[in-house]
Structure formats: C-alpha cells, structure tokens
Copies of this chain bind each other. A is one copy, B any other.
Amino acid sequence: MNVSAQAKKRLLTGDRPTGPLHLGHLVGTLHNRVMMQDQHDCWLIVADLHSLTTRSRREQIGELPELVHEVVLDLLSVGIDPEKSTIYLQSGVPAVYDLAILLQMLIPVNRLSGIPTIRDMARNAGLKDDEVPLGLLGYPVLQAADILMARAEVVPVGGDNEAHVAIAVELAEHFNTLYGPVFPIPEAMVSSTPTLPGVDTVDGGSQHKMSKSAGNSIRLKDSADEVARKVRSLAGPAAGATPEDLDSSPLFAFVDAFMTDKAAASALKYDYLRGKTNADSVHQAITADLEILLRPIRERRAELMADPGRIEEIVVDGTIRAREVAYQTLNQVRDAMGLESLWSGLVAATQRRAEARKRPY
C-alpha cells in the first residue's frame, strides 16, 4: 500500500467465484476496476459465502479452491495490481458473520423480499419459490456487511446490484441513527457497463448476454485459436440488412466493442452493407483486435502460473488485512450498540472479585 492510500476513498467490489471471467466482464467491469485502482483504495472481495446462497452442495463447495484460484488469476491477468488493490476471501473474515447477524435485526423482511434480484438469483439457480433459502433472502444484508465492515465509501454498481447497495446505504444510515456515527455512508458509483452478447457456440448463444451460466462466453483464459473459433460462430446479418440491423446485430456489437480504429469499423460496416465484404472478414478484423487486447492478458496469466503460490499468497495477505479492518469495525459496532460494554462489564466485575479475594484482611 503506498503512502497516499489513506487519502484515497476506499472502494469495494468483487465477484462470486462461480466460473472463469470472460469478455463480458472485461468490458463491463474489469477495465473500470483497473482504471479505478489508481484513484481509489480498491478492495476486491472473492465472495465465496455469497456463492453458498445458491451453491451449497458439498461437491459445489469442493470446486471453490479451483474457482477462487481462477477468478484471482483472471483479476491479476487483466491488470489488477495487488500493490494497489486488496484481494480477499469473504469466508476468511469471521467478523463479517457477526456484523451480518447484527444488521439482520435492523431491516424488515418485506424490504428484502421485494428486491427483484433475489427472485432472479433464485430462478437462475433453478430454485422453486418454496426452496429459496433464508440465506438468499439475506444476501443483500451479507453484502452490506461486507461493504460496511470494510468502511467502503464507494461501491461501483452496474444495473442489477444497485438495489443491493441501496440496502447497504439504508442499513448504514439506520445503524448510525440508532447507535451513533460508526459507518461512512457508501456511495453507489453508477458506471455505464456495456453488455456484450454471447457467441453462437451454443444454440442461440448470441441472443443472450454473455454469461458463465449460458455457456456462450469467450473466456479470458481461452487460447487464440479458441477465441478465433468462437468469434467465427457469430453469423453475419442477412443480405439486405439496414444500418440499424447491423448496429443491433451480435456480430457488429463485437466490432463496436473491440475494434479500436473506429473509422476502420465504420468502413467495415459500410462495405458489409454493400456486399463488398462478408462475415469472414469481419470475424478476422474482430479477432485481430481482440488478440491485441488478450495477448498481454494471456502473457500475464502465464507469468503468474509460472510462480506457484503467488495467487494464494496475494489472497492470504489481502484476507489478513481485511480481517484487521473487520475486527476494528466490529468492535466499534459492538461498542456503539452497547454489546461490548455488556461483556467487558462482566469481565471487569469478575476481575475485581478475583483481586478482592487475593487481598489480605
């Protein structure tokens, strides 16, 4: 951590370790994070407890060591710098559990059951209404505990987690009102997070947002050949397409997202409209620029993989740092609520008794 870190606002964001990161993450959030780490004290949570809300079976938990390794490798390979950013494992910070249980006393059930993302997560995990676990309903409160224990001031949000950050804000304000000013009020930093369509290596893949679960992603770890093959799966718009058809097509969404020479991109579209070029050429142009983006990521990944234990060391160091901050925050919370003086009062009375009994008459 450099000297000026104290002056930087702390920012918290992160990922559930549920699979390798892909191009959708890169354009959606990862580029932003890399840019933000110079201006902010970035904390990146690897949210394994959150993944338990929908993946609690033993064999799913058994995949976590590999999944955690992969997600951190992805983060570092895109340029997250462990000297600037704290990467930590959520389940390795026990004080978060305490804080979550205490915060659960301060928020009505109805406030949570109305959040659409809870229902979406349940549906995506294939849970029926009567199977939604209490932990999933409490997901936003656990997330608030992460944010508040870290004393984060800034939380980047893209569309669907804005409702969760709102819960953290409400809990911080409610707590501060009830017990005194303990938490900085976190601020949601809304950024434009362009969404990327998937590829057609699965049926209709480009009709949906690129996502791990849909199986329609180009992963950051994919080889150059795999990337080229996946790009080629994207069909070009049919003959006679309008400029609007082009702009809204998955193929040209990739052109817009990844061709850095905007004039060349426009020329390509124009030629495609007039039948002067075909999908093959567009695929090649996309792949060429994607390689410029992905090659250094692949190289950093290879360097990191040649240094066994480096990923784990970064997570352990970050988690130990997060633990210290979390315990400090939890102590402030227990102090403000009056729970700490309850316990310390018991201990003090016990000690006074022990001393009084030692004293000669």
Once A105-B52, A105-B56 are accepted as A-B contacts, the answer to whether A61 and B92 lie under 8 Å apart by CB is no
Once A342-B65, A356-B309 are accepted as A-B contacts, the answer to whether A132 and B104 lie under 8 Å apart by CB is no
Contacts of A53 in B (CB 8 A): 105
Interface: A302 (CB within 8 A): no
Interface: A68 (CB within 8 A): yes
Contacts of A89 in B (CB 8 A): 342-343, 346
Interface residues of A in 3-54 (CB under 8 A from B): 48-49, 52-53
Q: Which of A134-142, A148-156, A222-230, A270-278 contacts B (4 or more CB under 8 A)?
A: A134-142
DSSP majority for the A interface?
A: helix
Q: How far is the CA of A94 from the CA of B98 in the complex (A)?
A: 7
B342 and A91 form a contact (CB under 8 A)? yes
B108 and A131 form a contact (CB under 8 A)? yes
Interface residues of A in 191-210 (CB under 8 A from B): none
Q: How far is the CB of A326 from chain B (nearest CB, A)?
A: 12
Give the number of times this chain occurs in the complex, counting copies: 2
Interface size class of A (residues with CB under 8 A): 35 or more
Contact check: which of B97, B107, B309, B345 meets A134 at CB < 8 Å?
B107
Interface: A110 (CB within 8 A): yes
Contacts of A61 in B (CB 8 A): 337-339, 342
Contact check: which of B52, B65, B132 meets A345 at CB < 8 Å?
B65
Once A179-B58, A312-B350, A338-B61 are accepted as A-B contacts, the answer to whether A107 and B133 lie under 8 Å apart by CB is yes
Annotate A142-184 by CB proximity to B: 1 below 8 A, 0 otherwise.
Answer: 1000000000000000000000000000000000001100000
7 interchain residue pairs of minimum CB distance: A309-B353, A312-B349, A105-B135, A104-B135, A61-B338, A313-B350, A104-B134
